[in-house]
Structure 1
Amino acid sequence: MQNTSTKVWVFILSSSLAFLVLGYQFGERLGLMIGFFFALLLNFMVFFYGESRVLAKLNAKRLKGQDAWGVLNLVERLSAELGVPVPAVYLIPSPAANAFAVGHSWRRGALGFTQGLLQTLEPEELEAAVAHQLCHIRRLDTFAFGVSSTLANSVVGLGQFLDSFLPYRLQFFMPLFSPLGWLIIKTVVGEKSFFENDLMASQLVGDRHKLGEALWRLEGLAQTKPLVIPACTSHLFMVNPEGIKQRNLFLKSHPPIEIRIQKLMGYYPI
């Protein structure tokens, strides 16, 4: 956990210094000021924009008051067991079944659950899904995942912007920039993060099979009902939300579900 956070801070610092150095090389004092502006813009996007971007794009609404699924009570109880402040809970109006967590610290965490997940999972599976997302906050994965998502999205967005100037809807820059976005995510988000979080969540609920069955069901549902998400955010979700419709293989971030479940349960359900 500390190693991942350290890599994130090093990455942010290196990116900011790169803007300053490049700005000075190309424009001396004026370039240095421009580079400083872009460094500030980068840090603003990383720490304030990325989290709200995901919630806004998914039309997430804060879940308060009446809660037919009992998810608020689950979040409160499991948060107390983990020793973290109770995060905000958001409902995504989508028939797809998935969950995600965002937040740059334990105190500013937020969990998102699709309506399809809450209506589909059994109570024990729902408990495992809630525990899984809370563990991401406890491990500060949400900080590392969120930073990498914002940086990668900026790179891919730049490619899309440049391609918009090309005639006949040609795509030249996106194929060049997408691997860079994938590299940014992979530099921070390793498969080990998913495996360790799966194990921690299973220990929290006291049964590896509960979580394994929830992962297996959600993966199957994602294939039939994928979720439309912002670019470079699939690694924020419990399982790959785009399913087989994920077009850009460079931005595939989840390890195969078969490997995740085998490492967790010792076998893969057939």
Structure 2
Amino acid sequence: MTNNSTKVWIFILSSSLALLMIGYQVGERLGLLVGFLAALLLNFFVFFYGESRALARLNARRLKGQDSWGLIDKVEKLSVKLGLPAAPAVYLIPHPSSNAFCVGHSWKRGSLGFTVGLVQKLNETELEAVVAHQLCHIRRLDSFAYSVSSTLANSVVGLGQFLDSFLPYRLQFFMPLLSPIGWLIIKLVVGKNSFFENDLMASHLLENREQLGEVLWRLEGLAQTSPLSVPPCTSHLFIVNPEGFQQKNLFLKSHPPIKARLQKLMGYYPI
């Protein structure tokens, strides 16, 4: 089965070739040059700007120095245990919801984000489970696939918003047209099996399936009661669906149901 990172490379290669072909068909040699520059710009944006843009839109701030929750120590310890070449950077999101996310366009280093609500509500053991879960996404290169797909999808949605800004009376024509394409990119890369496999890998790292399962179950409930508003095409970056009951459209749901995740992980769903 094709893994997530392979899907991303295939998609990037296909989109770059498509830009070259369209450029040549429209303007022959000059169009080919324009298509090449467009493909180069797209790849530069994806690999060197997408991660920082996602962190900025979530208002994430790098955690340095004083760390009363011991997050940095947990990240460094588990990174060594997983064999990561470098510990990811740690960020805090100033929001009362309880959630965590990871981004990373590099195989060697990523970034972990934790909401203030999460570090305040979870105990030491629960925080360790969340850190382990997110680090496994980086180890499996899920963070690379998720971040690239999110950046590409956001570019499509942003193009729709930009084009709609020129329409009179605040009409929306391009946004409804391009938004499904953005989410289709997410769907092509992010499969439910990647969540199941990462849950299992994190439980092996923790050597305790029940510990991780209970944390996922609790976080899902907290996300429902205190949802987090996130930029378009970024909800799949989080450990559980950050939008909770606010997300009505089934097509936009990037996470498998929590019941399915816990049954795959523990063999039962807690009642």
TM-score range, shorter chain: over 0.9
Tell me which amino acid in the other structure corresponds to 1:15. Answer: S
Q: Distance in 2 between matches of 1:230 and 1:50?
A: 13
1:147 paired to 2:145: no
Deviations 1:151-189 (A, max 9, x none): 111111222222333334333322222221121111111
Partner of 1:256: 257
Alpha-carbon distance in structure 1 between the residues aligned to 2:194 and 2:57? 25
- Equivalents in 1 of 2:6, 2:87: separation in Å? 25
Assess if the C-alpha contact under 8 Å between 1:151 and 1:181 holds in 2. Answer: yes
Q: Which residue of 2 aligns with 1:109?
A: 110
Counterpart of 1:107 in 2: which secondary structure? coil
Aligned to 1:69: 69
What amino acid is aligned across from residue 62 of structure 1 in structure 2?
R
The answer for the alignment partner of 1:59 in structure 2 is 59
Match of 1:98 in 2: 99
2-structure distance, mates of 1:105, 1:195: 23
Corresponding residue for residue 20 of structure 2 = 20
- TM (normalized to structure 2)? 0.95
* SS class of match (1:59): coil
CA shift, 1:83, in A, is 0.6
Within 5 Å, give how 1:191-202 maps onto structure 2. Answer: 191-202=192-203
Q: For the residues of structure 2 that align with 1:258 and 1:160, how far apart are their CA atoms?
A: 36
Report how far residue 59 of structure 1 moved. Answer: 1.7
Q: d(CA) in 2 for partners of 1:86 and 1:2?
A: 27
Partners of 1:3 and 1:127 lie apart in 2 by 27
**How many pairs does the alignment contain?**
270
Cα drift, residue 247 of structure 1: 5.5
Separation in 1 of the partners of 2:28 and 2:251? 36
251-260 vs 16-25, which deviates more?
A: 251-260
- Report the Cα offset of residue 248 of structure 1: 5.3
Identical pairs, percent = 76
- Deviations along 1:219-252, whole A, 9 cap, x unmatched? 1111121112221111111011111112654332
The aligned runs of 1:82-97 (5 Å cut-off) are 82-84=82-84, 85-97=86-98
SS of residue in 1 equivalent to 2:231: coil
Q: CA deviation at 1:104?
A: 2.2
Residue of structure 2 equivalent to 1:131: 132
Q: Please give the alpha-carbon distance, in whole angstroms, between the structure 2 residues aligned to 1:249 and 1:161.
A: 26
Any residues of structure 2 matched to 1:21-60 within 5 Å, and which? Answer: 21-60=21-60
C-alpha distance in 2 between matches for 1:96 and 1:253: 19
216-225 or 194-203: bigger deviation = 216-225
1:269 deviates by 1.8
CA drift of 1:29 comes to 2.0
**Aligned equivalents of 2:174 and 2:107: distance in 1?**
37
Is 2:158 aligned against 1:160? no
Per-residue displacement from partner, 1:1-42 (whole Å, max 9, x unpaired)? 973222211110110111111011011122112211210111
Q: Which runs of 5+ in 1 are unaligned?
A: none
Cα pair 1:178 1:251 within 8 Å, conserved: no
Task: Measure, in 1, the Cα distance between the counterparts of 2:28 and 2:150.
Answer: 31
Distance in 1, Cα, partners of 2:162 & 2:107: 35
Listed one character per residue, the Cα deviations across residues 171-212 of structure 1 (whole Å, up to 9, x for unaligned) are 332222222112111111111100000000011111111111
